[in-house]
Structure 1
Amino acid sequence: MMKNTKRIITILLFIVAFIVIYATPVFASAATSYTLTLNAKGEFVRTQDAYLPLRTTMELNLNKPEDMMFDDDGFLWIADTGNMRILKYDSVTNELLFELTYPEFLAPKGLYISSRGLYVADSAAKAVFRFDLDGTFIEKFERPDSLSFGETSFEPSKIAVDNRGNLYIYGEGVSNGIIQLSNIGEFLGFFTTNKIRLSVVQQFQKLILTPEQFDNLLARSPQTFSSIFIDDNSMVYTTTMSTYFNAVKKHNTQGGNIFKRMISFDDARDIYVDKEGIVYAGMQSGAIFVYDQTGDFIFYFGASNSDISSNQDISGVFQRLSSIAVRDDGVIFALDDAKSFLQSFEPTAYAKEIYRAINLYEDRLYQEAIDAWSEVLNLNQMSVIAHNNIAKSYLQLQDYESAMHHFELAGNRTGYSEASWEVRNLVIQSYLGIFIIALIFIYFSNLVLHKVDKKTGKVTQFTQPIKKSFDKPILRELSFMFKVMRKPIDSFEDLKHGHQGSFRATLILYVAIFITFIFFNTSKGFIYQYILVEDIDITALVLGFTAVTLLFVICNYLDTSINDGIGKLKQIFMMFVYALGPLFLALLLVTLLSHVLTYNEVFFLDFIMTFGTIWSFILIYLGISEIHEYSGKETIRSIFMSLLFAIIIVVVLIIIITMWQQLYLFLDAIIKELIRNVFN
């Protein structure tokens, strides 16, 4: 009896535990340290964790902190905007060293540490203050009185200072660019500005309106910056919100952007550059993007707050990231001005190995860099940045074939083109002499054979059977394509009367053009094959080719049947296929040459395709005119109406297919409902 009682109690406890575990709601969120990078297709993919949340600091009692920066001693200075103070914080010992308050502080939003001291930008006070690092006030920079400054507002929000003491100020609402002041406060001008990007509608308006009308139509101002930073080499970096295009910039001395095609989100809030030149861009949503010295994207980590409740506090997740800073040991610190806390992230072995490899390459230790990147590949075999940098190192070591291999794995077509050019150059240098000797040998051999044949006729006797073996009707019918290309009017006249060409040869050519079209889209050289074969919808290619060609032929026949055209459907089809000869040769030639030519010769491929397409269009025009005995205007009208009919047929087919799908779904839902009600 006692055993049965214990067994019953055990079973009941198990049931209760099961109910508690599986019935209690669990609030889960995505890991806050996910790291994403780009694959060879340019898509974001998850990779090894580069950073992990280290510490969330709430003890500083911050209130809407806006900015921070490390000094040369490794202490972190924080602009605690809501409390109108500047803090000096030891991030290692988690100790507040001292706080700087000043009677004129109203909203200290930005700060910068340089050899000349601490600079504080206060938008509400409309001034920049300079202090010693012990907190002693030195001077105050107010609105410039220069005439060239005009009516521009002066509300400093972010500030950076170069090695000469010149101030670079981001002012709220200033679209003219970064305000640049000398070390004594003189206005030097606007350093740089964002370009105005026109929408499609605005571009059309600019095309049809006069400059005066366009300028008066809509007031357009460049987007304002969101942050500014200057590294140890006095290079200026900026971020811009509300744009995906060049949201992160590195500027030259003239203000131009050095970085090209930067990858980021559209809410870039802050930027920081460490001692090694690694660039960190903080997105307001919480993601932190990392780039190397040249602006190449490495990875980003962090999580957006959009998937969590506003009252949840999760380590590593921000409600609104406002600023980032990087300690000398690589630990990243980030501020949240909405929830007023300081969060730190510690780099993993994966991130440290990437940074070590980058530094080795920058130090021109290319073989050591290859070894370091190989260690990264041990952690992630498909790391695009590892393959790309290994390829660049091999390129510097003049191992071009290895560079090509890794550039291809990284999807870097520009680098692959450069390495391929070097390989081709070496091959040309190696075999150019042999090639020239072979040409000379062939030339003189031809002269000798020609003279021998004139005297003896032996060569002709030998070659005559070979020529006869190629003199087959099907070969003549296929080669008729070349006569169409050279003498289109006479050729189409012969085709119309059945003197040359044949339907069987036309079918063979049509299949050959189709196969060449498929190979053109799937088998070009890596440099020019922008879409991987596995991502190509072969079915769409097949249907698209047959639909475009056959629909045009059928629609042209339908149009000409009611507009006094005398051509038959078979003749139109044969004419159309033979007229595609130049395009067929262009597709074939471009596909073959794409495996040899680099980006330096892309003009030749573009020219071949354009020339072949135009030539084929001219032949189609002449063919329709000759087959139907149309005038020029009638031919143009026939082509236009054929295309229009083809479009109408495609639209009708799409509507029918869509309606059939909807009908199928409707009937399927009714049948399922009947089955459920009858049998249940």
Structure 2
Amino acid sequence: MRRDNTKEKGDDMSGLKKLIAAAGAGAILVSGLAANVSAVESYDPYSYDRWGDAVASQVGYTAEYFVDGQSINGLAEVIEAMDGFNAEKASWQELLGLKEPADMYVSADDLMYIADKGNNRILVTDLDFNLVNYMDTFHYNGEELTLKKPEGVFVDQYTGYIYVCDTENSRVLKSDKDGNVDRIFEKPVSEIYSQDLTFNPKKVAVDKAGNVYIVVKSVTKGSVMYDINGEFLGFFGANRVEATSEIIANAFWNTISTESQRARSTKTTPVGFSNFDIDDEGFIYTVTESSDVKTDTVKKLNPKGQNILSAITADDVTFGDISPAYYSIYTKESALTDIDIGPNGEMNILDFAHGRIFQYDKLANLMFVMGGTGEQLGTFRSATAIESHDNMLYVLDSRKNSITVFKRTAFGEIVTKATNLYNDGYYEESYEPWLTVIKYDGNYRRAYIGIGNALLNAEQYKDAMKYFKISISRVRYNRAYEGYRGQVLEKYFTPAILIIIIVCVAVKVLKTLSRKGIITFPWQRRRGA
């Protein structure tokens, strides 16, 4: 049953209070008591504190192994059985591995689709990387079609249709699993789609209604949108133009310029997003790779194309690294190249510039940071795509020509459990998991907030204040303080009033008795003498 701060507490609260009493205030700063939950990583896991400074953290996922083309069971047998196969030729050797893979997708039936760009094919494997299907030719109205540098792949969970961005052939193919093409999406013929623009699709997604969304390299107005019948509908989800000082200045001068001057001035256009994913509810999440843009780097779009994620974050969240990396001759900002939405709404965001994976919960709170640039397992040279399934993450590297498989650690499991309970409103139930998180990692700020909210919901306001103070959560601290002040007033107000009433009554009675001469006070006797 979902609960909030306004609901009455039942018998389950007694158990929570016992836990609170047993834990004591000393548990607040317990850290490092648990053994490291993962093997030694080839990068330093970290998180961010309230001030945006990086702090050491436990790792949420650990790299288990990587898969290249030679590791895909059954691929070599398929290649070697092809007509004309010659193991001594480089062109055939390339087919035995991956070559500049550009995208991948895990379907609803647990199959991995890999857009092997350099080899002009789609490889389909199970999640143990056994080859299930090899797609390099397609059939449409009796014609055989081949791929040229495919950069995107998507599988409709409702129909099973496979959508392939046949990038350098300027089209998207809608095909069944046997390679029979049902429809081809090509450059729209429309007044609102400039015919001067090329049509090089690089990513594709499909919603519940069968509407098709295509990210095209030359288009900055959002994704190109088609209906289920292949009719061009327009553009969807364009990014806003960031209000930089240069843009504000240009806008001012345009108000006082002549028409000819405005025609010669530089036009301001939004940056097109680089990738997207669609969740189980039909919301489309987009990422923008440009390191020069801070607005709309991550969006959650409703069917109207409105960013509802901004209502949660209020544009205060920095996705990716909060601070850029400074090197001797240049500065490197995060460049978000892909996004994957997990089953609980968690956002797995891939940073191409730093080779890092940032996992956020559905409310855009940072959970884990993994990865880095390098040659070791768990690091990347050109991180291109990310997918998730259950407690696993899969990251595609187009330069290493491999897929790295990450598995959630024990620390990651307990953080995920606590986060999901907390975000679903089960604050009391999240208390014990959050306490365990702190035992693993005393720097994990969200755990202190979670514990504080559990205590707040249990009306343990004084203890809640301690945790909110540690997490530097002023709004929550003030809320707990108001509750604690109310408890103090409630506790002492009635006795204080009773004492005042008793004193007033006593004084009045004594005055009456004195006036009647029944009792005499010492100062009255001295006065009479």
TM above 0.5, yes or no, is yes
Measure, in 2, the Cα distance between the counterparts of 1:169 and 1:211.
39
CA shift for structure 1 position 38: 1.2
Is the CA contact (8 Å cut-off) linking 1:90 and 1:97 kept in structure 2?
yes
Please state if 1:344 is matched with 2:399: no
CA-to-aligned-CA distance 1:264-310 (integer Å, 9 cap, x gap): 142101000111211100111310000001111112111124xxxxx
In the alignment, which residue of structure 2 is the partner of 1:276?
344
The alpha carbon displacement at 1:418 in A equals 4.3
Aligned AA for 1:250?
K
Q: Give the residue type in structure 1 aligned to 2:122.
A: I
- Between the aligned partners of 2:240 and 2:417, the Cα distance in structure 1 is 36
1:264 aligns with 2:320: yes
- Deviation, 1:176, is 0.8
Counterpart contact for 1:291–1:299, Cα < 8 Å: yes
Instruction: Give the equivalent residue in structure 2 for 1:108.
Output: 150
1:34 matched residue in structure 2: 44
SS at match of 1:98: strand
From 90, 98, 108, the equivalent of 2:133 is 98
Residue in 2 that maps onto 1:139: 183
CA shift in 2, pair 1:62/1:409, >3 Å: same
SS at 2:394's partner residue?
A: strand
Residue 41 of structure 1 and its aligned partner are, at CA, apart by 2.7
CA positional deviation for 1:374 = 0.9
Structure number with the higher strand fraction is: 2
**Paired position in structure 1 for 2:63:** 53
Structure 2 letter corresponding to 1:56: F
Segments of structure 2 that go 5 or more residues without pairing to the other structure are: 1-39, 73-96, 138-144, 322-333, 500-529
Q: Structure 2 vs 1, CA of residues 283 and 147 (structure 1 numbering), >3 Å: closer, same or farther?
A: same
Cα distance in 2 for partners of 1:196, 1:73 equals 39
Range that drifts further, 377-386 or 355-364:
355-364
C-alpha distance in structure 2 between counterparts of 1:429 and 1:235, whole Å: 47
What are the superposed Cα offsets for residues 127-162 of structure 1, whole Å, 9 maximum, x if unpaired?
A: 221122344332222223343334454322111111
Q: Which amino acid aligns with 2:53?
A: E
Structure 2 partner of 1:300: 369
* CA-CA distance at 1:436 after TM superposition: 12
**Does the CA-based 8 Å contact 2:174-2:181 persist in structure 1?**
yes
Aligned partner of residue 405 in structure 2, secondary structure: strand
Q: Residue 179 of structure 1: which of 224, 232, 255 is its match?
A: 224
* Offset at residue 34 of structure 1 (A): 2.6
Q: 1:209 to 1:246 in 2, by over 3 A?
A: closer
1:279 touches 1:293 (CA, 8 Å); kept in 2? yes
For 1:120, the aligned partner's letter is V
RMSD: 3.0
Closer, same or farther: CA 141–424 of 1 in aligned 2, 3 Å:
farther
- Distance in 1 (CA, whole Å) between partners of 2:175 and 2:228 is 14
Q: Indicate whether 1:164 and 2:216 are aligned.
A: no
Which residue matches 1:122?
166
Q: Which amino acid aligns with 1:249?
A: K
* Alignment partners' CA distance in 2, 1:222 and 1:201: 14
The answer to whether the 8 Å contact 1:195/1:222 transfers is yes
Instruction: Report the residue type matching 1:369 in the other structure.
Output: S
Task: Find the aligned partners of 2:199 and 2:459 in 1 and give their Cα distance.
Answer: 53
Q: Write the distance in 2 (CA, Å) between the matches of 1:277 and 1:215.
A: 45
8 Å CA contact 2:242–2:295 kept in 1: the answer is no
Deviation at 1:181, TM superposition (A): 1.6
CA contact (8 A) 2:247 2:268 kept: no
Distance 2:213 2:403 in 1: 26
Q: 1:256, 1:437 → 2: CA distance?
A: 57
Q: Which deviates further from its counterpart, 125-134 or 50-59?
A: 125-134
Given residue 52 of structure 2, which amino acid in structure 1 is its aligned partner? G
User: Hey, what's the Cα distance between the residues in 2 that align with 1:398 and 1:173?
Assistant: 56
Q: Which among 192, 195, 199 is matched to residue 148 of structure 1?
A: 192
**Pair 1:366 & 2:434 matched:** no
1:123 and 1:172 in contact (8 A); partners too: no
Question: Are the aligned partners of 1:156 and 1:171 in contact in 2 as well (CA < 8 Å)?
Answer: yes
Return the TM-score normalized by structure 1: 0.55
- Residues 395-441 of structure 1 show CA distances to partners (whole Å, capped at 9, x for unaligned) of 44454444433222222234334444555667788899999999xxx
Q: Amino acid of the residue matched to residue 256 of structure 1? A: N
Contact 1:119 1:129 in 2 (8 A): yes
1:291 maps to amino acid: Y
Aligned residues: 402
Q: How far apart are the structure 1 equivalents of 2:266 and 2:414?
A: 51
Distance 1:111 1:77 in 2: 7
Asked if residue 247 in structure 1 is aligned to residue 297 in structure 2, the reply is yes
2:277–2:339 contact (8 Å) kept in structure 1: yes
> What stretches of structure 1 of length at least 5 have no aligned partner?
1-29, 306-312, 439-680
In the alignment, the residues of structure 2 paired with residue 324 and residue 100 of structure 1 have an alpha-carbon distance, to the nearest angstrom, of 21
Alignment of 1:69 onto 2:105: yes
Residue 316 of structure 1 is matched in structure 2 by 378
Question: Which deviates more, 382-391 or 419-428?
Answer: 419-428
In structure 1, C-alpha distance between the alignment counterparts of 2:295 and 2:455, rounded to whole Å: 31
Change (3 A) 1:207 1:314: same
**1:171 Cα deviation from its structure 2 partner:** 1.0
Q: Could you tell me which of 388, 394, 419 is aligned with 1:326?
A: 388
Q: What's the secondary structure of 1:372's corresponding residue? A: helix
User: In 1, Cα distance between the equivalents of 2:135 and 2:204?
Assistant: 18
Conserved? CA contact 1:246–1:262, under 8 Å: no
Contact 2:59/2:369 (CA < 8 Å) preserved in 1? no
**Secondary structure at 1:82's aligned position in 2?**
helix
Query: Normalized per residue, which structure has more helix?
Result: 1
Cα 1:159–1:380 shift into 2, 3 Å: same
Cα distance in 2, alignment partners of residues 237 and 156 from structure 1 = 18
Q: Give the CA deviation at 1:222.
A: 0.8
Name the structure 1 match of 2:248. Answer: 203
SS in 2 for 1:368: helix
Partner of residue 511, structure 1: none
Q: Is the 8 A contact 1:249 1:258 kept in 2?
A: yes
User: How far is the alpha carbon of 1:356 from its aligned partner?
Assistant: 1.2
Q: Which residue of 2 aligns with 1:87?
A: 123
Q: Give the secondary-structure state (helix, strand or coil) at the position aligned to 2:55.
A: strand
CA displacement, residues 618-649 of structure 1 (integer Å, 9 cap, x when unaligned): xxxxxxxxxxxxxxxxxxxxxxxxxxxxxxxx
Q: How does 1:241-640 map to 2 (within 5 A)?
A: 241=289, 242=291, 243-254=293-304, 255-259=306-310, 260=313, 261-265=317-321, 266-284=334-352, 285-305=354-374, 313-328=375-390, 330-421=391-482, 423=484
Residue 431 to residue 361, structure 1, CA distance change in 2 (3 Å): same
CA change 1:411–1:176 in 2 (3 A) is same
Establish whether residue 219 from structure 1 lines up as the match of residue 300 from structure 2: no
Shift of 1:349: 0.6
Structure 1 residue 166, shift from structure 2 partner: 1.1
Tell me how far 1:67 sits from its aligned partner. Answer: 1.0
After superposition, the Cα gap between the structure-2 partners of 1:367 and 1:433, relative to the gap in structure 1 and judged at 3 Å, is closer
Could you say if the C-alpha distance between residues 400 and 192 of structure 1 is closer, same or farther in structure 2, counting changes exceeding 3 Å?
farther
Once the two structures are superposed, what CA deviation does each residue of 1:293-347 show, in whole Å capped at 9, x if it has no partner? 1111112111124xxxxxxx4212211100011122x111111112211111121
Q: Name the CA distance, whole Å, in 2 between partners of 1:367 and 1:79.
A: 45
Cα 1:203–1:164 shift into 2, 3 Å: same
Query: Which structure carries more relative contact order (alpha carbon 8 Å, separation 6+)?
Result: 2
TM-score for both structures, normalised by structure 2? 0.69
CA contact (8 A) 1:165 1:182 kept: yes
Question: Map of 1:223-238 to 2, 5 A cutoff?
Answer: 223-238=271-286
